Amino acid sequence: MKPGEKALVIGGGPIGVLVALVAQHDGADVVVTEVNPFRVALMQRLGLKVVNPRETNVLEFVNDWTGGEGADLAFEVSGTAPGAEIMTEVVRPKGRIVIVSVYAMKPAVNLYRFFARELSLIGVRLYGPQDFERAIDLAASGKLPLAEVITAVEPMDRIQEVFTGLTSGGPAMKVLIEI
């Protein structure tokens, strides 16, 4: 990313919020889409702009935000069919889409938009040594509010309850399991 680029992060879970914080730290103008009210409020407290797609038409929002150009970059972090569907709609011609999600089912993707807008698609799965070094440096610098992303630390014997709460959309962002 280049400073000043407009980046839309689709999905504001733990990975999405970290992507957004790093992008913002690197100088991007970032907006996150998220439906969970707890996570929306948490990200707003962290200084991120957030749009709830259940309340706001994301495509119209992006068009207003970018003056009709489209985002320079979209990170698809939701792993949902609606996230995969909107990612090709919100980026500008020659824009970039980064797939961070793992999908449980094959999503429908508008490949015509890739052709017509000459979009670039980047998939990320593994981290290299330089990624770990950068993450460690950023965490050690204290420049990102990482402690606030951790909403709970729970003992191992509560793991089932933790996963049940997370999958039901409860009030959590990142829950650590103490072993």
- What does the pLDDT read at residue 76? 98
CB neighbour class for 62 (10 Å; exposed up to 12, middle 13-18, buried from 19): buried
pLDDT in tens, the chain (179 residues): 899 999 999 999 999 999 999 999 999 999 999 999 999 999 999 999 999 999 999 999 999 999 999 999 999 999 999 999 999 999 999 999 999 998 888 999 999 999 999 999 999 987 888 888 999 999 999 999 999 999 999 999 999 999 998 888 889 999 999 99
- What does the pLDDT read at residue 37? 95
Number of separate domains in the chain = 1
> For residue 32, what is the domain's CATH number?
3.40.50.720
Helix, strand, coil percent content, the chain, rounded in steps of 5:
40, 25, 35
One-letter amino acid for residue 12 of the chain: G
Asked whether residue 129 is assigned to any structural domain, the reply reads: no
- pTM, two decimal places: 0.93
Asked whether residue 14 is assigned to any structural domain, the reply reads: yes
Asked whether residue 87 is assigned to any structural domain, the reply reads: yes
- What does the pLDDT read at residue 126? 78
Asked whether residue 128 is assigned to any structural domain, the reply reads: no
Asked whether residue 22 is assigned to any structural domain, the reply reads: yes
User: What is the extent of the structural domain holding 41?
Assistant: 6-123
The Cα-based distances of 15 to 1, 32, 75, 100, 110 in angstroms read 17, 12, 11, 9, 24
Asked whether residue 71 is assigned to any structural domain, the reply reads: yes
Asked whether residue 146 is assigned to any structural domain, the reply reads: no
